[in-house]
Amino acid sequence: MLISDLGRPERFLNMLRVFKPQSPMSVGVWTLTAFAGASAGAVLLPGKTVRDVSAIAAAATGLVMATYTGVLLGVTAIPLWKEHADFLPVHFGASALGSAVSLLELRGHRNDALHSLGAAAAAFESAADFALANDTKLLQIAGALSGPIAFALRLFGKRKTAAAATLAGSLLTRFAWVEGGKASVK
């Protein structure tokens, strides 16, 4: 989507000529490049130590990637997005964390650390849902699914159902912010 947003694919390569920390697009291009390279290295490079170092780099740059959509939305002139510019990166990061945990749990991983991360993401989403109560109906539904509903399900030991609710809420969250942004322009 970043390359598509630039209009022509060669612009992506042009952006790699200079790193501008004040430019969200520049930071995004460099982060995407580092994340893609580190992720590929974690899978493809020979030697366990080299793969482990690549995996650590992929995890670190993945944290930036998880918040990047929120940063990009916040630096636009779209009223709803601009109003929540400070909140969006953290919101998208928590949503990404909840989604990652949920996917791992649905694939059969079951441990207390994952459960704790899922509960923390759901708690944050619950607070976010409360803070955004006056925004769009779709955001409220998305927030309820990945927030209080997922949190309550986790409290009652329904991890797979909580994971499914979190994934549905995270997906709806992205659509809700886009649709809410469009509506706020009108």
User: What pLDDT does 134 receive?
Assistant: 61
Tell whether the model's pLDDT for residue 147 goes beyond 70.
yes
Cα separation, 83 vs 76, in Å, equals 10
Boundaries of domain holding 175: 76-186
User: What pLDDT does 4 receive?
Assistant: 74
Tell whether the model's pLDDT for residue 101 goes beyond 70.
yes
C-alpha of 36 from chain center: 16
Q: In whole numbers, what is the pLDDT of the chain averaged over residues? A: 91
pLDDT band at 8 (very low <50, low <70, confident <90, very high): confident
Cα separation, 63 vs 65, in Å, equals 5
User: What pLDDT does 62 receive?
Assistant: 93
In the 8-state DSSP scheme, what is residue 46? S
Percent of the chain with pLDDT over 70: 97
Same domain, 87 and 179: yes
* Dihedral pair phi/psi, residue 107, rounded to 5°: -90, 5
Cα separation, 135 vs 129, in Å, equals 9
Same domain, 157 and 137: yes
CB 17 within 8 A of CB 23: no
Per the structure, how many domains does the chain have?
2
Mean pLDDT in residue range 83-100: 93
Boundary-marking domain end, from 66, 90, 106 = 66
Alpha helices in 145-158 (DSSP H): 150-155
Same domain, 166 and 112: yes
Same domain, 26 and 113: no
User: What pLDDT does 89 receive?
Assistant: 93
Same domain, 55 and 134: no
